[in-house]
Amino acid sequence: MSHVNDDQGRETDHRAHLTALAYISDHYFIGTVPRVHCTDRFNNSSAVSSVIRLLKKDDPLSREVLLSYQELAIEEFEENSRSGTPTAPDHHIGMMVTLDHTIFFQNQRAVKINEWMLAEVETPWAGQERGLVVQRIWTSDGTLIATCFQEGLIRLERN
């Protein structure tokens, strides 16, 4: 069994780091497809309202989730409002689900989830209610540690 040190100097099984990287590689991943179409993902009043209804007002974690969601909505609005960027105010994401997600790990022993990483995400194709996403993840010293592919199904709804 191989171990790596965590940020406290304790040894941890490297497989825990790989598992965590697999989990976080999915975060914000398929969301690149709606960006191709300048479709609202977070800047949608009905979506924001449904999140707010689920949150407990006095729970600190719920407040953090809400603030994060609001930041994403502002970021998306600003991005879609830039000069020369077409917006699509007549539709929004109705359903988005992963059809296939594959991760190829390179340099597995270099994966340290508690250290800085860079993720490059691109959508080489989107159409026919589907989209393909490619992601590459590097360590802070430029070592490629993972290449990910994901295909998703995206259904748009009119506002």
Residue 127 DSSP label: E
Annotate 16-41 with DSSP letters as a single string. HHHHHHHHHHTTTTTTHHHHHTT-BS
This prediction has a pTM of 0.65
In total, how many domains does the chain have?
Answer: 1
Instruction: Give Dmax (Cα) for the chain.
Output: 54
The pLDDT of residue 139: 95
- How much of the chain exceeds pLDDT 90, in percent? 21
pLDDT at position 50 over 80 = no
The pLDDT of residue 154: 85
The pLDDT of residue 47: 64
Domain with 136, as residue range(s), is 3-158
131-153: average pLDDT: 94
E strands, 46-129, in order: 91-105, 117-127
The pLDDT of residue 1: 45
94-138 residue pLDDT tens:
788 888 999 999 999 899 888 999 999 888 988 888 889 999 999
* CATH code for the domain in which residue 22 is found: 3.10.129
